[in-house]
Amino acid sequence: TDFDSKKKRKVAEIYQALNSDPIDVAALRRMAISEGGLLTDEIRCKVWPKLLSVNTDDLPPLPAGKELREDNKDYQQVLLDVRRSLRRFPPGMPDDQREGLQEELIDIILHVLKRNPQLHYYQGYHDIVVTFLLVVGDRLATALVEKLSTHHLRDFMDPTMDNTKHILNYLMPIIDQVNPEVHDFMQSAEVGTIFALSWLITWFGHVLSDFRHVVRLYDFFLACHPLMPIYFAAVIVLYRKQEVLNCECDMASVHHLLSQIPQDLPYEALISKAGDLFVQFPPSELAKEAAQQQAERTAASTFKDFELASVQQRPDTVLRQRFRERFQGEERTKSILTKPRTNRFVKLAVMGLTVALGAAALAVVKSALEWAPKFELQIFP
């Protein structure tokens, strides 16, 4: 069928990128974002480490579980959370196999925390770790999770929730840019953003019941900026705009509606849309509204170092390039694009275009060296 041949072609392109010298990280990011993501767990085992700049030839051996568990202040809480994580394992998995994986899960978490005393465990962290464990196995999962915890997840692992709340503060400005009516309705209902907390801190692992959807989102998030999950959260709310507007305008009703996430979301369309919104309304443009007081302490800023480390292949190049090629020469539109809310109609027209072109239209990523920091849609504040 047509789908199978498309899939075969994509697999071939992924292996070509993996085998090129140096490895074509930009192409791998593009594959992870574009329709269908990385397709198989076998491919994820090879590509996820590249997206996180983890050297798989040099994985440290895992320490024995017993020494990790003695005198570990987080052990009891981790144990409780992992015991409650039954539904994160494939249905029908034999009990002894699942129990073995749960032991590995505890060890991975304690190992990362022990090696990085600046990180604080939070409930929901295990939902992210179990996703890696199930896809890549314990040794590689440990290395990937450690890198992720010191970069993308860094804000969630502070002693306080301040930075996490700060990231949640981006949700309403994104919704406001796209649909002021939904934004104003949610403001009137005083619903806040806590309904999206578990989405954000587990990368949706906790709320989606189908594991295939979870790993598809992980492909996307690993290839993008650390704030992409909040854009994805906004896109889910916007997708449900009719349900939201039909709801009673009070906190309890709207919170209840939004915290129950539908399982049959059109993931590919939403991923495409989230990527588009990220390029149109980059975090730096929304930062004032999100009241960015701690810029230097958030993942977005440590991400700069991470970026340079990952062979200068910026994940947003994929999105930016795709956007730029489409609007080359439209200087007038571009200047309108960067003005706030008043020119929303132009933005919406652009968005219609973007959505029509969809994830499959991700343009070829040119070498990151031509990334001009002065480009108008600058992503880092």
What one-character DSSP code corresponds to residue 355?
A: H
Nearby residues of 238 by Cβ (< 8 Å), 6 or more positions away: 175, 178, 179, 182, 273
CATH code of 45's domain: 1.10.8.1310
Report residue 230 as tokens: 């909040």
Residue 368 is which amino acid?
Answer: A
Provide, for the chain, the percentages of residues in helix, strand and coil under a 3-state DSSP scheme, each rounded to the nearest 5: 65, 0, 35
| Nearest CA-CA partner of 217 in 241, 228, 314, 141 | 228
pLDDT, residue 315, reads 52
pLDDT, residue 325, reads 52
Distance, in Å, from the CA atom of 145 to the CA atom of 156, rounded to the nearest integer, reads 13
pLDDT, residue 85, reads 86
Domain hosting residue 73, numbered range = 2-152
185 and 135 belong to one structural domain: no
Is 230 part of any domain?
Answer: yes
265 and 173 belong to one structural domain: yes
Is 278 part of any domain?
Answer: yes
pLDDT, residue 316, reads 56
Listed as ranges, residues in the chain with pLDDT below 70 are: 63-65, 291-381
pLDDT, residue 97, reads 94
- Among the candidates 232, 259, 293, a domain finishes at 293
84 and 178 belong to one structural domain: no
Terminal CA-CA length for the chain: 46
Distance, in Å, from the CA atom of 56 to the CA atom of 195, rounded to the nearest integer, reads 37
How many residues are recorded in the chain? Answer: 381
**If residue 277 lies in a helix (H) or strand (E), which one and from where to where?**
helix 267-280
pLDDT, residue 346, reads 45
Is 350 part of any domain?
Answer: no
pLDDT, residue 163, reads 87
Can you say whether the dihedral through the CA atoms of 137, 207, 121, 172 is positive or negative?
positive
- Pair 54, 143: CB distance under 8 Å: yes
Is 340 part of any domain?
Answer: no
- Among the candidates 275, 293, 311, a domain finishes at 293
pLDDT, residue 374, reads 29
- Among the candidates 293, 312, 340, a domain finishes at 293
178 and 246 belong to one structural domain: yes
Burial 26-40 (b: 16+ CB within 10 A, else e): bbbbbbbbbbbbbbe
Is 112 part of any domain?
Answer: yes
This prediction has a pTM of 0.78
CATH code of 168's domain: 1.10.472.80
Report residue 213 as tokens: 């959807």
Total tally of structural domains belonging to the chain: 2
What pLDDT, in 10s, does the model give residues 142-152?
Answer: 999 999 999 99
Distance, in Å, from the CA atom of 161 to the CA atom of 21, rounded to the nearest integer, reads 42
